[in-house]
Amino acid sequence: MPPFAEQDSATHSAAPAAGHSPDDTLLVLPDALAKVLGDNRALPSLPASVMQIVALADSPDANLQEFTAAIERDPALTLRILGLANSVFHAYDAPAETCQEAITRLGIDATLSVALGFGLASQQQFRSRGLDLTYFWQRALISALTSYTLARHLALPSPGRAFTLGLLQDIGMLALDACLRRGYSALLSSADDHVALSTAEHKAWGCDHALVGAWLAQRWGLPKQLVSGIADSHLPLDQVMIGQRCVNAAGPLSEAWLASSDAADNRASTEEMPLTDMLRGLVPALGIDEDALIELLCGLQETLPPTAELMHISCPPEFDATRTLLEAKQQLHAHHLKLSQQLLDQRLEIERLRLRQADLTQRVSHDPLTGLFNRAHLEALLEQYFREALDQGHELSLVFIDLDYFKQLNDQHGHRLGDEVLKGFASLLRELLSHDVLGGRYGGEEFVLFMPGTGTEAAMRLAETLQHRMASRTLAVTFDHQHIRVSASMGVVSLADSEFVNAEDLIQAADQAMYVAKRAGRGRIARYCDGVEEEPMQDSV
């Protein structure tokens, strides 16, 4: 690339995709196709003047004067270079009056685009066998302008190269149309759209026209970045970098643009406009706000006629682009609202599932009557703390609680009142629970409290506190307004009291101590020590 072109030579090209050759490797076509194309005289060619410009564009030793002289040998091309330099895309206070000024303003890539496009369009005007050349070049022009506009909007370093790639990405179709005679014509007529055409080409010859176009560009001696860009021009957007993505998005956009022109001519409803669905898919892929993208495309309608004239290409048919794109914008907004509602519905459903999961977790781990931890969860939790205490040398104490005379209470007042007593006791017990004191309902009228990191003395004080509160707390009231208070027998054990194998052994030891308290007259606290239950302490109340 000559030094005067540095302003437009920093394009970040995507790495070649699987199946495409890197920049420094010759592209190879499938054998059958290579045999047909080879040195076929029908292959598209460039005028000698354009070939010289191409050679200079790729030469590091070329200077601006040599490049200008090569272009000025073709007066028609010089006029087009000047016209593009003074177009709306390159508006300056003072117009470019010389070819050298125009080239300096455009940069090498845009200048090369004009030379290639004008040369190819002129050479191929009457050579088509089955390809609709008018449609072909209109699509190429829209694609080139769209690529350029997107690249400029995204502040990419080489919008001129994006223009060139947009213009040339389908030149492989020219080669296939010229050399395959009836075969390609039949394939063109059977394909509904560009994607279907590429698929059919792969099936028929083992590659699509993008690779053929890159091979042809390489044959002409185009710069390597252009060759690889053409090769990758039909890859999915998520497989290429952002510079190439502008080009790959522009092809389908131009096809949708022309299809929308036909729809507008036939007075089709906006719901049938192909451009709408295309825009909807491109907004996230290009990272461009949908309003900004629509505004960019609306502006293209003004630049199409003068640029088509400069490139010696038949101008695409006019249609009310502003109205069509604004209607597309409305539909995009409607689609956005629909997606927003769907997203809201999904969030609500996720929240509903979260609450349901929380409810299920609550049901699995909590006793439905008292709301405290149930036996299964208590045992699992205690086993976890038991293992941690053994591993880390921490203390662990447990209080086993059994409400006194509960069977007689149920027999005398009924199970309903018994349930109220259990719920009242659970409420009292909950006042003692904290990060350091865990517990729940073990079963029936039995409850468990355990204290990680706490020794026997602290556990005894906790049990005494509970006894005192029970003595003064009404847990239920009968129908005849009797206030029901109950006492409890409690067994206390600490991990240091014996050699316990697991948490179940700890519970059993506390249970044994609790029965000592029962046998001693109830309403007492008994401590388990070294496998022998200590004499219980009588309730002081």
Point out the residues that are catalytic: 445
> Is the distance from CB of 144 to CB of 153 less than 8 angstroms?
no
For residue 202, the tally of other CB atoms under 10 A from its CB is 13
CA–CA gap between residue 52 and residue 371 (Å, rounded): 88
End-to-end CA distance of the chain: 101
Residue 340, burial from CB neighbour count under 10 angstroms (0-12, 13-18, 19+): exposed
Q: What is the DSSP string of 465-480?
A: HHHHHHHH---EE-TT
CA–CA gap between residue 307 and residue 320 (Å, rounded): 18
Which residue type sits at 452?
P
CA–CA gap between residue 236 and residue 178 (Å, rounded): 27
The residues near 487 (Cβ < 8 Å, ≥ 6 apart) are 403, 404, 467, 470, 471, 522, 523, 539
The residues near 469 (Cβ < 8 Å, ≥ 6 apart) are 428, 431
> For 6-47, what is the HEC assignment?
HHHCCCCCCCCCCCCCCCCCCCCCCHHHHHHHCCCCCCCCCC
Sign of the CA dihedral with 150 first, then 152, 154, and 159 last:
positive
Six token digits for residue 85: 């330099």
CA–CA gap between residue 234 and residue 17 (Å, rounded): 11
Q: Which has the closest alpha carbon to 194: 259, 113, 281, 130? A: 259
CA–CA gap between residue 534 and residue 516 (Å, rounded): 8
